[in-house]
Amino acid sequence: MVGSLLLALALLAGHPDTATIAEADTLPRTAEVGGIVIGGVEEDRLRLRQIHGRSPASGFLLRSTHAPLPLTPDRGPGEISWKPLPARVRVAHNPGGPRSLNEGALWGGRGMNVLASGGVAGSWGPAHLVLAPEIAWQENRDFDHPTALVPSRTRFSPPWRVGHQSADLPVRFGDRSYAVLGLGQSRIGVEAGPVAVGLSNEHRWWGPGIRNAILLSNNAPGFPHLFVQPVSGIDTRVGEIDASYLLGALSPSVLSAAPRGNNLRSFNAVGVTFRPVVEPNLTLGVARAVYASAGGGAALPQHALDALLRWGTGDAEAGVPTEQLLSLFARWLFPAAGAEAYVEWTRADLPGSIRELLADPQRSQGYTVGLQWASGTGEEGAALRLQTELTNLEQDGSWRADGPATFYVSPVVTDGYTNRGRVVGAAIGPGASSQWLAFDVLSPGWSAGAFLERIRWDNDAYYTQPVGRAYFAHDVSVTAGARGSVMTSVGAFDLELAREHRHNFLFQNPSYFFGDDLATDVIQLLVRMEYRFTVPGGSAGASHAPPPPAPAPTAAPDASSPRAGVQAP
C-alpha cells in the first residue's frame, strides 16, 4: 500500500498546487473535518480555550488543516457520511508593493489579490476524503526592484539569492496578472487501527509560534505529501506522545533557475511531541526536516528515511545533495493566570563535533519566543488579550568564512527550502528578524484590536554584497494597524487595516539604485479581508453555526489520559 501511495504522490507532484489555509472542526484530530483556518479566528479562540484549561492541548504543535474522519458512534461501518466545507474568500490589497505573510496560495503582490476556496468532506468506514480546491488571482502590478545579474536567472530573481545563497524566491511572479487553480487543502486517507495514513496537499504548522513557524508553516502553497500519524495521542505511564511523518515533493516556481523537467525536491520530516504526566500543561517537541534535489517524482521513495538517516548538511551522500533543519520547541500553559509561554529553537547546520558546538554554539541558529495573556476566552463576556512574539533568523559573522548558514537557502539545492517560490518555513524568510506586539478586546461574537510589527528583511544578504555597506542599507519595515472579526451563524468576517513604512525596499537606496530617497521606501495602506460562510446540507446533518462556548471543567482532567473527554470547541 505504501508503494501505491508513493506512486500517487509522485503523480500529484506534477500538478500546479496552490493552497492556503482552511478547515477543521476541532484541533487536532478529534472530530470530523469542517471549518478551522490555520491562523484564523476559530483557531485563535481554540488556543484561548487551551490557555484557560477549557480545551485539551493534545497534538496542537503538530497540527494540520484537516483532521481524519473517524467513525462516529451513531454511524455503521458501511455508511457514507459527507458535508460541505465552509466556503472562503480572502482579499488582500497592497497598493505600494508586495507583502505576503502566511497566505499560502495567495501571493500578496502589488495591487489586488483574491483567493476563493470550498469543497466537501466525506467518510466511508475508516476512509475519508476531502476535496477542497482553491483558486487564486493576483493583479501583480509592477514596482521598482533590483534585477538579477546572473544569466541563468530571470530579471525577477533577487541578485543576492544565487550561488552559495541560492533559493527560488522571486520578488515578482512575472510581468502580468495571473490566476492559479490547485488542489488546495485536499486530502485522502484511511485509519488503519490506531494509525492514519494517506495523501494530502493541506498545510501543516509545526511548532508553537503564532506569527512564525520556523520549520513548517502555511506561508507557501501546500505541497503533495504522504502522511503517517497516530489517530490520537499515545498514552504512556510517563505522559502522552504524539508524532507525525511526512514525505512530500517541493515544486519550483515558473521562474526557477533549476533545470526544467528535473527540478523537484524531496521533503521528508518527522516530528514528535511529549506531554509529561507530571505537568500535562507543558508540551515538549522535536522535529527534523531534510530536503534534497530529487529530480523527478520517481526518486521520492529513496528519500523516505532522510530525516532519520541523512545527517550531513550540504553533503552529497549517495550522490544526492541534501539540506536539513532541526527544531526543538516547547509550549507551557498557565490556566490559573490565563497565559502561555512558548519557544522554538532551530539549527540549519548541525555541529560536526562537541568542540565545534562549544566554540560556536550560535552558528546557524534561529529562534522564536512568545507570550500570550488573556483575561478570558471572550466567549462568556468581554476579555482583554496581549500578545508578543520575537523571531530571529539573522546570522552573526562566524558563518561567512566556511559556507552559508542562512536559513532556507543552499549552495547545493538550487531552489532552497521553498515551494512554488515561497518559503516553507517562517514567513519573514531567510536572514530576517521580526518583533510583534498586539492588544485585543474579545467578545462572544466579535473582536477588535491593534498591533505593531517590525521586520528586518533578509539581513544576511546585507553582509554578503561586494558594495560598501553604506550603499546597501538595511531593508526594514515598520507596520501599525488595526484588526477585528465578527462571527455569525452564517459565517465569519475578518478585517485588517495597516500602514507599512518599508525603508530601503529590497535594499534600494539613493546611493545605490535610485536618486530620490522616497523612491526607495514603500508607504502603503494594507487591507486584508476574509469572509467564510457555511453551505447548508450534508448527510451528517452537522450544524454550521458557531459552536457554543465549552463549559468550564468541573474537575481537573486525568493527566494520564490527556485526550479523554475531548470537547468540541
For 239-266, the pLDDT digits (tens) are 999 999 999 999 999 887 666 656 789 9
Alpha-carbon distance values, 134 to 88, 102, 115, 222, 223 (Å): 9, 15, 7, 11, 13
pLDDT of residue 224: 95
pLDDT of residue 232: 85
The 3 state secondary structure assigned to 104-122 is CCCCCCCEEEEEEEEEEEE
CB 400, CB 68: distance < 8 Å: no
pLDDT above 70: residue 535: no
Cell numbers representing residue 334 in the block: 498557565
Burial class of residue 71 in the structure, from the number of CB atoms within 10 Å of its CB (0-12 exposed, 13-18 middle, 19+ buried): middle
CB 97, CB 522: distance < 8 Å: yes
Higher pLDDT, 67 or 48: 48
**Total number of residues shown for the chain:** 569
Nearest to 307 by CA among 230, 206, 388, 210: 206
pLDDT in tens, 431-466: 999 999 999 999 998 999 999 999 999 988 887 765
Q: Count how many Cα atoms sit within 13 Å of the Cα of residue 13 in the half-sphere of its side chain.
A: 29
pLDDT of residue 281: 96
C-alpha torsion sign, points 240, 553, 332, 59: positive
Distance between start and end Cα atoms, the chain:
35
Q: Average pLDDT in the 131-160 region?
A: 86
- Match domain 2-533 to its CATH number in 2.30.30.100, 2.40.160.130, 3.20.20.10, 3.40.50.1100: 2.40.160.130
pLDDT of residue 146: 81
Number of DSSP helices (H) and strands (E) in the chain, helices first? 5, 25
pLDDT above 70: residue 549: no
- Separation CA 142–CA 249 (nearest Å): 31
Tell me which of 31-40, 58-67, 263-272, 429-438 is least confident: 31-40
pLDDT of residue 552: 43
Cell numbers representing residue 131 in the block: 476535496
% of the chain exceeding 70 in pLDDT: 76
pLDDT of residue 319: 61
Q: Average pLDDT in the 6-24 region?
A: 37
| Amino acid in the structure at residue 480 | A
Q: Count how many Cα atoms sit within 13 Å of the Cα of residue 531 in the half-sphere of its side chain.
A: 5
DSSP 166: B
When mean pLDDT is compared over 319-328, 370-379, 490-499, 522-531, the highest value belongs to: 370-379
411 cis-preceded (ω within 30 degrees of 0): no
Dihedral (Cα; 20, 26, 29, 32), 10-degree rounding: -90
Per-residue exposure over 78-96, b if at least 16 CB sit within 10 Å of its own CB, e if not? eeebbbbbbbbbbbbbbeb
Q: Average pLDDT in the 25-51 region?
A: 66
DSSP 216: B
Query: Which pLDDT band, with edges at 50, 70 and 90, does 24 fall under?
Result: very low
pLDDT of residue 308: 92
Q: Which residues are registered as beta bridge partners of 351?
A: none
Backbone φ and ψ of 543, nearest 5°: -80, 140
Query: Which pLDDT band, with edges at 50, 70 and 90, does 87 fall under?
Result: confident
Q: Average pLDDT in the 501-523 region?
A: 69
DSSP 357: H
| Amino acid in the structure at residue 282 | L
Q: Average pLDDT in the 157-175 region?
A: 87
pLDDT of residue 408: 94
pLDDT of residue 96: 87
Nearest to 265 by CA among 427, 421, 429, 413: 413
When mean pLDDT is compared over 61-65, 295-299, 423-427, the highest value belongs to: 423-427
95 cis-preceded (ω within 30 degrees of 0): no
pLDDT in tens, 343-390: 999 998 887 778 777 777 778 899 999 999 999 998 888 999 999 999
Q: Average pLDDT in the 458-476 region?
A: 73
